[in-house]
């Protein structure tokens, strides 16, 4: 009776996701393949690992105990994998970071710049992602940590609040509202506006927050990414409601940034796997992110 590494990988994926379909997405294989290997594992080990209930797999006490043993073994195997890859690339350390698209224009580049100055030999993989994809990317070890504008709940992930962000108005300097110190919702009613699309979670959050203020605004334009909203505003197509990290720090020459008089504020979230030991490089990068947010909140960075 042997518990092979592939069986450990599938068992771990099912434990983390709770479903065969979730494990299949995490491991990029078919659901039948996961089911077959899981059934074979239970048969070969002679241990009942899961109870099948309503499409979900509930771990038995034996599975919970086994998971505690599997996790460090799996982590060690991944570390060996990374070590071999780094040897092949003649690199010693690598970290992978993802973020919401709006945070990828200034906040993350600044943090990466600070990190690179301190760790010039460390390779950084950086990309943007949608919040809905973050759990799979973190739990499959595609990325070490993620920074999002939206909250996320997953029992296998740790979500830490880095700080606060807000919606701001971006417009050309000659726009009629540019002379205002703050912009009210009633101001926006009389002008063309550019909103994040309802097709994305951030757009739905913004619209929900507006409704909580009793505001009904029909945007002239809807876009799926904040930088597209700024690009339209720069073409004198209206006032863009965007996250301040997308619009701030002189990223868009000619655009004027004004806060809302009724603030829309939300958390910036740092997310990482709960059961994985983070490397020293990842810990250092996280501290740099915290420092960047402190600078932001003290008014020394961004808008």
State how many domains the chain has. 2
The DSSP secondary-structure symbol of 260 reads B
Of all residues in the chain, the percent with pLDDT exceeding 70 is 94
Beta strand pairing call for 239-243 and 193-196: parallel
Indicate the residue among 58, 88, 118 that finishes a domain. 88
Give the up-direction half-sphere exposure of residue 295: CA atoms within 13 A in the CB hemisphere. Answer: 14
Q: Phi and psi dihedrals of 287, rounded to 5?
A: -65, -35
42 & 170 share domain: no
Say which CATH number the domain at 81 has. Answer: 1.10.10.10
C-alpha–C-alpha distance, residues 174 and 171, integer Å: 8
12 & 111 share domain: no
Of all residues in the chain, the percent with pLDDT exceeding 90 is 43
pLDDT tens digits for range 97-148: 999 998 999 899 999 999 999 999 899 999 999 888 899 889 888 899 999 9
83 & 99 share domain: no
In terms of Cα–Cα distance, which of 77, 11, 76 is closest to 49? Answer: 11
Say which CATH number the domain at 193 has. Answer: 3.40.190.290
Give the up-direction half-sphere exposure of residue 183: CA atoms within 13 A in the CB hemisphere. Answer: 26
32 & 115 share domain: no
C-alpha–C-alpha distance, residues 215 and 152, integer Å: 26
pLDDT of residue 90: 55
101 & 80 share domain: no
Question: SS3 for 276?
Answer: coil
pLDDT of residue 26: 85
291 & 259 share domain: yes
pLDDT tens digits for range 179-211: 999 999 889 988 999 999 998 888 888 888 888
129 & 250 share domain: yes
Mean pLDDT value across residues 159-164: 93
The answer to whether the predicted template modeling score (pTM) of the entire model surpasses 0.85 is no
Least confident of 86-95, 102-111, 226-235: 86-95
In terms of Cα–Cα distance, which of 126, 138, 133 is closest to 275? Answer: 138
78 & 99 share domain: no
Mean pLDDT value across residues 222-240: 93
The answer for residues whose C-beta is within 8 angstroms of residue 79's C-beta and 6 or more apart is none
98 & 213 share domain: yes
For the stretch 21-29, contacts whose Cβ atoms lie closer than 8 Å and that sit 24 or more positions apart, written own/partner, are 22/136, 25/136, 26/136, 26/139, 26/140, 27/140, 28/140
End-to-end CA distance of the chain: 61
168 & 23 share domain: no
205 & 70 share domain: no
Q: Is the model's pLDDT at 303 over the cut of 50?
A: no
Report which secondary-structure segment, H or E, holds 157. strand 157-172
pLDDT of residue 1: 60
Indicate the residue among 73, 88, 103 that finishes a domain. 88
35 & 142 share domain: no
Containing structural domain, residue 288: 93-303
In terms of Cα–Cα distance, which of 45, 271, 111, 212 is closest to 37? Answer: 45
In terms of Cα–Cα distance, which of 113, 117, 139, 136 is closest to 126? Answer: 113
Report which secondary-structure segment, H or E, holds 108. helix 107-118
C-alpha–C-alpha distance, residues 24 and 33, integer Å: 8
Question: SS3 for 175?
Answer: coil
Indicate the residue among 55, 72, 88 that finishes a domain. 88
In terms of Cα–Cα distance, which of 104, 162, 112, 134 is closest to 285? Answer: 112
Q: Which residue has the tokens 């951030």?
A: 202
């Amino acid at each position: 009776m042997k518990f092979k590494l592939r069986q450990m990988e599938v068992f771990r994926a099912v434990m983390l996701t709770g479903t065969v379909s979730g494990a299949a997405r995490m491991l990029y294989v078919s659901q039948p393949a996961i089911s077959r290997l899981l059934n074979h594992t239970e048969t070969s080990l002679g241990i009942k690992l899961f109870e099948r209930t309503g499409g979900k797999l509930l771990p038995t006490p034996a599975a919970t105990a086994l998971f505690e043993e599997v996790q460090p073994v799996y982590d060690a195997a991944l570390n060996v994998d990374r070590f071999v890859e780094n040897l092949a690339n003649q690199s010693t350390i690598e970290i992978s970071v993802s973020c919401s698209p709006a945070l990828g224009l200034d906040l993350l580049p600044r943090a990466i710049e600070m990190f690179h100055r301190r760790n010039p030999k460390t390779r950084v993989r950086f990309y943007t992602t949608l919040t809905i994809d973050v759990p799979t990317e973190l739990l499959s070890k595609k990325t070490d940590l993620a920074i999002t504008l939206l909250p996320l709940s997953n029992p296998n992930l740790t979500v830490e609040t880095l700080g606060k962000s807000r919606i701001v108005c971006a417009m050309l300097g000659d726009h009629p509202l540019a002379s205002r110190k703050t912009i009210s919702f009633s101001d926006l009613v009389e002008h063309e506006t550019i909103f994040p699309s309802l097709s994305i979670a951030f757009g739905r959050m913004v619209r929900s927050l507006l409704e909580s203020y009793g505001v009904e605004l029909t945007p002239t334009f809807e876009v799926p990414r904040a930088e597209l909203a700024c690009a339209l505003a720069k073409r004198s197509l209206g006032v863009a409601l965007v996250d301040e990290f997308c619009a701030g720090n002189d990223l868009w020459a000619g655009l004027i940034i004004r806060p809302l008089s009724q603030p829309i504020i939300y958390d910036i979230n740092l997310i990482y796997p709960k059961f994985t030991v983070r490397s020293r490089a990842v810990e250092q990068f996280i501290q740099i992110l915290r420092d960047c947010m402190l600078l932001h909140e003290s008014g020394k960075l961004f808008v």
